[in-house]
Structure 1
Amino acid sequence: MFPALSPLGTDPHLLMRAGSDGGVCDAAAVLDRLAPDGDDAAEAAGWPFFGQLVAHDITADRSALTGADVDTATLRNARAPRLNLETVYGDGPVGSPFLFDVDDPAKFLLSDDGHDVPRNRQGVALIGDPRNDVHLFSLTLHVALLHAHNRIVDLLRAEDDGADVFTRAQTALTWHYQWIVVNDFLPRLVGRALVEEVLGEGGRWFAPKPGEAFIPLEFADAAYRYGHGQIRHSYRLVEGGPAVPLFPDLVGFGSPLRRLDLAQIFDVPGRPAAQRAKRLDGRLAASLIGLPEQVTGAVDDAAYRSLAVRDLLRGESTQLPSGEDVATLLGQAPLDADRDWPHGTPLWYYVLKEAEYRAGGDRLGPVGGRIVAEVLIGLLRADRQSYLSADPEWTPGLAGGLVELLGLTA
């Protein structure tokens, strides 16, 4: 997004110390000084997990469009990053038949109790994107989207003879999801005023044409990794139940999983307020500073088990500029110099600290918010099949937000 800016160039050993146990990114180092729930943010705890599904969606790269009858422009557009629920639909009933019910291919196949995806005899998920099985939260949201699709199929069949019902249901769910990203998710994350500005004026730094979309490094390796800073120290899965950390207790990949009541992480009318996301402050919960091997694989250095270390090193390896340089370019006053980063702050860490100091830790600040809003809205506008391109005045008929779409209200 900002090709004229020079790479920051930080000593990797400094990055590893900052992100490891006891470093500036380790929330456990200050946890004992906080009151209970002392680093809770304003928004519910489920939103960063929805953001993770969005990240998986735009980084899926399959395309079912092949053959001589497909023109190059259409093929390029299909393979570009898109918010099209490819992680849910895979290649559809023909290309990914294992995802669908043999007796009713317009509908997704679910586990016998309806609370899980189907699995093979070794417990491996039959799922559009294995990354959505990484932990209980992403899996539960994925399953809720499968149910939403199946409900839409039933609604369409009740209205007519059901001709081409799968395609129509897929379009309906996808457009509702896209609308929710723009009108429910983004306003909570970056502020409604910025969303309205980007919708009205277009992106100043990211505005790809159809078929030419890409994911900028500043987004992928810094700003959109904000969600790691919103992971709570522990989660209650059901009302009155015990609180457990995300890792290793709730790791997925075929491990036995407990049931999650989504009303514990999303605010549902008529139910007690959900748990809140962790406040953005540059520090990560202990379960992310020491990831389990099921997530990281074997590592040569224990520091690589820290997600903070990985985030910091990603920004260095892709030669991202400092947060201060990006802020200056965007016309924003940079944060005061941080003694931990005397030569400039890594962009990922800057985005988290900017959220703390400029938005109370509840949402992203002007730099992080600008990057995220322009990229997600820009990707939708570059997709000819999205609601923003095909019918920008479209409004959802089935749900006014994520909670309604997932069937969490009557």
Structure 2
Amino acid sequence: MQNATKAFALPIKGTTPIDDLADRHGMPSGFRHFLNTPNASQRFKAYGIDPSTAPEHSLKVRALMNRLSRRMDAELNWPPHDDATIERWENPLIPSGYTYLLQFVAHDLVHSAIPLSVTGTLDADTANARRTALKLETLFGSGPVGSPFVYAQDTPNDERRTKLRLGRMRWKDKEVESGCPFRDIARTPAENVTGIDRSIAGHRIALTEALIADPRNDDHAIMSQLTALFALLHNGLVDVVRRGEPATAINANLGAAYKRFLCARDALTSIYHAIIRNDLMRRVLHPAIHAAYCGPTRSFIDRAAHSDHDPADHDPAMHGLRERNGWQVPLEFSHGAFRFGHAMVRPEYVINDLATHDLSKTLEKTSANDPVNMPLDSTWIVRWSRFFQIQGSRPNFSRRIGPFLSDGLGNDQIFPAVDATNRVGLLYRDLLGAALAGLWSVEALIDEIAIRRPSFIDSSRLLADRPYRVSRLREWLASEPSYGGLSAEDIETLANDPPLPFFILFEAMQQPQAPGQHLGPLGSIIVSEVIFGALEHNALPVARNAGSLSEALAAISAQYYPTNVLEDVPEIARMDQLVEFTAEIGGLHQAVPAFL
């Protein structure tokens, strides 16, 4: 039985840092640079100095990022939409559910112990603990044995666990009742050795612990609801598989449960990959870049770079270390381009038919911040047609992508100051982390991509014409002198060498015919290389050559069963289709509060 139990754990690679690789490149485990390691002349600089190599320059860099973040506090003057009922700052092409799907994907790619903006340097504390990319480790953890607290018991008298835990919601101003549906993530109280008890004596027990694989998936109410959505789908797929199992099979033992879990997990992973490829990326990327990477003839310039330009790749020992170290995310992605999702966050959300909540309240609604008001009550249970366009619904739209963040992301309780500048908020952290990470400069990155894929750069005047780019940046930086107090020297250094996350937002804002409605070419290239590269590298082997989701699911089923137990799962390529299928297999069409 013990051997069978060990087999029930998900195969997750070890997370021991490879010190030789980190020492040779000055890079914490799990990270690398995009394309190749930039040389000294190619790195971002502030006032001509590389902050990653000059700690004595830190105070000046922090002050500059502080002033830039304050310049970015000025509201953007977006052009109006044809539909006057849509606010200028709203993006009708991207419903707001995709904002949080991006966050979920980010959690599935990167998991660091401490943000770089807090540590101030790249070291072991900023290592990326993810060793596989886009395999739903953020949802499943290390499987029912490695992460048993994430899974519900199948029966009262053995160790089988195939379904993810969920928790009951409660009705507002009431305690949890047995009839309340399982619509929240699972939460629990815990003994505390320090003697601190956040419960309200005689009234309500504090549910301080979220029983999920990745604690960041309880960063706020919408994130925990999205996690519950994926858990509901997995649990429904477990039931689908069970019903399709051969009638003669013995399905009441650990081995059968193991197969059932793996089949459902693989099915959900294939659905997840299809949605990232066909729905999420299609919405956020520049159309021409998406077409280049989503088609059958794509090639990866990042992959080519590792054979031609990085000396480490000509060293077999280093190559072997890199292979054993597993997934490595480019810093230019994690600390640069993929921060764009923060600009998409709305100032408030219509959660369901019962309530609209502002962003600050949404961010505070977690087990860590508000344990005595957990589980979520009915005013926080998401109606998904408010977040994805389902059967013609009018969802909350995301904010247009540009150099501005909603005020709630400056909440000093959620994002307190990390240094002597006393600057609170997520924006300053994004800029500071990028400035300290030794990233490629925007200009050098453009030049390097132009060598490898000149058509990408030539299609954008902002990228191809440096004097034009600098003048546009200079004009914008100087246009709101009452915000930030940027000096002439500040403006010149930022216009000539902008921090990458800032430039990605600026580039999106500058898109002709679609200002702020999708990423520009540079942001799209970095995101495409990482996301589509991860999808290709980590595709389920049995489904790698499938031409459709149905073919992939049939191949997955064939690994475990003589018949296709997944034949009733429809083609799912969009989030609205995922939500509708979850409602169907979970019996949620008539749910109260409404699910669809």
TM-score in terms of structure 2 length: 0.60
After superposition, residues 229-248 of structure 1 pair within 5 angstroms as 229-239=343-353, 241-242=355-356, 244-248=357-361
2:231 is aligned with what amino acid?
L
1:353 match: 506
Does residue 264 of the first structure (1) align with residue 386 of the second (2)?
A: yes
1:149 is aligned with what amino acid?
H
1:46 match: 97
For the residue of structure 2 that corresponds to 1:368, the secondary structure is: helix
2:18 match: none
Does residue 114 of the first structure (1) align with residue 182 of the second (2)?
A: yes
1:190 match: 285
For the residue of structure 1 that corresponds to 2:188, the secondary structure is: coil
For the residue of structure 1 that corresponds to 2:301, the secondary structure is: coil
For the residue of structure 2 that corresponds to 1:235, the secondary structure is: strand
| CA shift in 2, pair 1:298/1:170, >3 Å | same
Match of 1:201 among 298, 305, 312: 298
1:84 match: 135
What is the distance in 1 between the residues matched to 2:335 and 2:418?
20
1:111 is aligned with what amino acid?
G
Match of 2:549 among 390, 395, 400: 395
2:45 match: 9
2:153 is aligned with what amino acid?
V
Does residue 251 of the first structure (1) align with residue 364 of the second (2)?
A: yes
Aligned residues of 1:292 and 1:305 also touching (Cα < 8 A): yes
Does residue 100 of the first structure (1) align with residue 100 of the second (2)?
A: no
Aligned residues of 1:57 and 1:87 also touching (Cα < 8 A): yes
Does residue 273 of the first structure (1) align with residue 394 of the second (2)?
A: yes
1:222 match: 336
Deviation at 1:116, TM superposition (A): 1.0
Once the two structures are superposed, what CA deviation does each residue of 1:360-403 show, in whole Å capped at 9, x if it has no partner? 10111100000001101112222263677x33534254423222
For the residue of structure 2 that corresponds to 1:43, the secondary structure is: strand
1:342 match: 492
For the residue of structure 1 that corresponds to 2:162, the secondary structure is: strand
2:104 is aligned with what amino acid?
L
Deviation at 1:253, TM superposition (A): 3.0
Aligned residues of 2:152 and 2:164 also touching (Cα < 8 A): yes
What is the distance in 2 between the residues matched to 1:301 and 1:206?
40
The structure with more radius of gyration: 2
What is the distance in 1 between the residues matched to 2:504 and 2:539?
31
After superposition, residues 117-196 of structure 1 pair within 5 angstroms as 117-121=185-189, 122-123=206-207, 124-161=209-246, 163=256, 164-196=259-291
Question: How many corresponding residue pairs?
Answer: 386
Once the two structures are superposed, what CA deviation does each residue of 1:186-208 show, in whole Å capped at 9, x if it has no partner? 11111454234224222112468
Aligned residues of 1:56 and 1:131 also touching (Cα < 8 A): yes
2:547 is aligned with what amino acid?
E
For the residue of structure 2 that corresponds to 1:406, the secondary structure is: helix
Does residue 284 of the first structure (1) align with residue 405 of the second (2)?
A: yes
Aligned residues of 1:145 and 1:406 also touching (Cα < 8 A): no
Moved more, 111-120 or 344-353: 111-120
What is the distance in 2 between the residues matched to 1:37 and 1:306?
24
Aligned residues of 1:218 and 1:320 also touching (Cα < 8 A): yes
Does residue 26 of the first structure (1) align with residue 73 of the second (2)?
A: yes
What is the distance in 2 between the residues matched to 1:283 and 1:188?
20
For the residue of structure 1 that corresponds to 2:293, the secondary structure is: helix
Aligned residues of 1:213 and 1:382 also touching (Cα < 8 A): no
Once the two structures are superposed, what CA deviation does each residue of 1:143-181 show, in whole Å capped at 9, x if it has no partner? 000000011111111211453110100000011101111
Match of 1:405 among 564, 571, 578: 578
For the residue of structure 2 that corresponds to 1:49, the secondary structure is: helix
1:276 is aligned with what amino acid?
F
What is the distance in 1 between the residues matched to 2:335 and 2:366?
24
Once the two structures are superposed, what CA deviation does each residue of 1:345-368 show, in whole Å capped at 9, x if it has no partner? 111111011111124101111000
Aligned residues of 1:93 and 1:100 also touching (Cα < 8 A): yes
| CA shift in 2, pair 1:267/1:29, >3 Å | closer
Aligned residues of 1:178 and 1:387 also touching (Cα < 8 A): no
Aligned residues of 1:323 and 1:351 also touching (Cα < 8 A): no
Once the two structures are superposed, what CA deviation does each residue of 1:268-301 show, in whole Å capped at 9, x if it has no partner? 114x21111100121111111x2242x3357454
2:71 is aligned with what amino acid?
V
Aligned residues of 1:322 and 1:345 also touching (Cα < 8 A): yes
| CA shift in 2, pair 1:301/1:265, >3 Å | farther
| Runs of 4+ residues over 6 Å off in structure 1 | 33-36, 207-210
| Structure 1: tracts of 5 or more residues without a match | 63-77
1:73 match: none
What is the distance in 2 between the residues matched to 1:38 and 1:234?
15
For the residue of structure 2 that corresponds to 1:145, the secondary structure is: helix
What is the distance in 1 between the residues matched to 2:130 and 2:503?
32
Deviation at 1:82, TM superposition (A): 1.0
1:365 is aligned with what amino acid?
G
TM-score in terms of structure 1 length: 0.85
Deviation at 1:94, TM superposition (A): 1.4
What is the distance in 1 between the residues matched to 2:346 and 2:130?
34
For the residue of structure 1 that corresponds to 2:501, the secondary structure is: helix
| CA shift in 2, pair 1:152/1:278, >3 Å | same
User: Sequence identity of aligned pairs in percent?
Assistant: 28
What is the distance in 2 between the residues matched to 1:233 and 1:27?
15
What is the distance in 2 between the residues matched to 1:157 and 1:379?
31
1:291 is aligned with what amino acid?
N
What is the distance in 2 between the residues matched to 1:141 and 1:25?
29
For the residue of structure 1 that corresponds to 2:360, the secondary structure is: coil
| CA shift in 2, pair 1:318/1:260, >3 Å | same
Does residue 58 of the first structure (1) align with residue 128 of the second (2)?
A: no
Does residue 316 of the first structure (1) align with residue 435 of the second (2)?
A: yes
Aligned residues of 2:185 and 2:225 also touching (Cα < 8 A): no
What is the distance in 2 between the residues matched to 1:259 and 1:383?
33
